[in-house]
Amino acid sequence: MRHPKIKPSERGQVLALLAILIPMLIVFVGIAIDLGEAYVTKTTLSKSVDAAALAAMRNLNQGQTAATADAKNAFTANFQSVPGLGTVPTPTITWFTTAPCIAGNTCVTISATATINTTFLAVLSLMPGVGSSFNTQTISVSATAQRNPLVMSLVLDRSGSMNNNGGAAALPGAVTNFINYFDQGVDNVAEISFSGADKIDVNMTSTFISPITNAVESMAFSGGTYAQGGLFDGDAQILTQPKTPNIIRVAVFFTDGYANTNNDNLQCNPAPAKAVNWNYGGCADTPGGVVECTGVFFMNPSDGSWSGNTCNASTFPVQKPGQSNQLNAVNITADATYRTEQLATKMRTTDQITIYSIGLGNLINKPYLQDIANDPNAATYDASQPQGEAVFAPTAAQLDSVFQTIASKVLLRLSQ
């Protein structure tokens, strides 16, 4: 077969087409490059104003002047994280409390504009009647965040084991640093502690820093772990504040061990005329853990004291389905854990409270704390409920760090 020969006139047509198409191809590739640079710039600007808005909200408790400075620093750090974008723009930061800000909230808007010089789009400026409008591109973005008021209960373990793991010494400083992240006069915070009994140390108040600081610095650590009682008080304190659309409800639950104490009316032996109300337990069943005490203690529900108290009941009104009601540490621990988890579920579903949990030590019951918080890593995680988080400090030296981690999570939730 013979290939047809290209006639000279056809060669001329191909060359003419190439002469037209190649410059056009170069222009389109160039436009893609310029538009790509514009996209990177806009994406970086958006990330920078978002980070600045969140930084402003997180640091609002320092005052608007300090929060503005933090916002500018966050903007600069994020913009400079992408090289080659040129001079960092100066963001405009505007604080306001009027609409569209929800009544009772403080809002901030961060705006920024960047100008980029085009390379290939500038060729279009050479066309008749176009002028220099394509020599540069101006990109503007903005972000608005608002700081919702917070209603929060701190629920703190002050059981005797805290004396043995360094927690008693580390907890006061960690809590004091934690509460200083929040705004007096805007936020409301209560502090509850629990050991063999629960105690409201500081009722819900908007002037919380000094009372809570004093309470944790004078806290005495002894007795069992009546976690359910502490969480019950934390829930009740949150519910003292009316629920409005912009209020964020949070409970922070801290413990260094297993729940090991319940409260019930027990039929003692020898049997009195009627059942007697006791807090009972005090010694946890901690698989693989350290056994710090044995037996069952009967404690005064008002203060957790147990010395000289006797009941000698053989059974208790178990709540966990399928759990034995024989009165011993194994059964009490399992039932106390179940009761606390059930209460946490009620707090999340009925009361719309987000729970964060903190565990101290290497022998902590991690699945239990993940369940309490509805942590995504929990086997029982339910996406329809408020999602919290469980964090762990293997040693007391890390306690301050994990409290700060929770503070950042709470502040992020407040800043929308």
Whole-angstrom distance, CA of residue 145 vs CA of residue 203 = 30
**How far is C-alpha 353 from the geometric centre of its chain's CA atoms?**
12
- pLDDT tens readout for residues 241-251: 999 888 999 99
Strands 276-281 and 261-266, bridge-based pairing:
antiparallel
Residues 190-200 have a mean pLDDT of 97
**CA–CA distances in Å: residue 198 to residues 23, 212, 308:** 80, 16, 20
In terms of Cβ atoms closer than 10 Å to its own Cβ (0-12, 13-18, 19+), residue 21 is: exposed
Q: Domain 150-260+295-414 is in which class?
A: alpha beta
Q: Which residue has the higher pLDDT, 405 or 289?
A: 405
- Work out the percent of the chain whose per-residue pLDDT is above 90: 60
Distance, CA of 365 to CA of 284 (rounded, Å): 11
Q: How far apart are CA 75 and CA 73, in angstroms?
A: 5
Compute the distance between CA of residue 415 and CA of residue 145 in angstroms, rounded to an integer.
6
Most confident segment among 3-7, 36-40, 44-48, 306-310: 44-48
pLDDT in tens, 216-236: 999 999 999 999 999 999 999
Q: How confident is the model at residue 22 (pLDDT cuts 50, 70, 90)?
A: low
DSSP letter at 328 equals: S
Amino acid at 371: D
Task: Answer for the pair 372, 344: CB distance below 8 angstroms, yes or no.
Answer: yes
Q: Please tell me the predicted confidence (pLDDT) of residue 31.
A: 61
**Which pLDDT tens digit goes with each residue over 141-174?**
998 888 889 999 999 999 999 999 999 999 999 9
Q: Position of tokens 């949150």?
A: 238
Does pLDDT of 14 surpass 90?
A: no
Query: DSSP string covering 206-244, please?
Result: SS-HHHHHHHHHT----S---HHHHHHHHHHHHTTSPP-
CA dist 334 to 89, 262, 328, Å? Answer: 59, 11, 10
Q: Which amino acid is at 124?
A: L
pLDDT at 3 > cutoff 60 = no
Distance CA 140, CA 35 (A): 15
Whether the per-residue pLDDT at 131 is higher than 60: the answer is no
pLDDT of residue 395: 96
Mean pLDDT of the chain: 87
Grade residue 274 by pLDDT with cuts at 50, 70 and 90. confident
Q: What is the pLDDT of residues 370-414, one digit of tens each?
A: 999 999 999 999 999 999 999 999 999 999 999 999 998 998 888
Q: Which residues pair with 127 in a beta bridge?
A: none
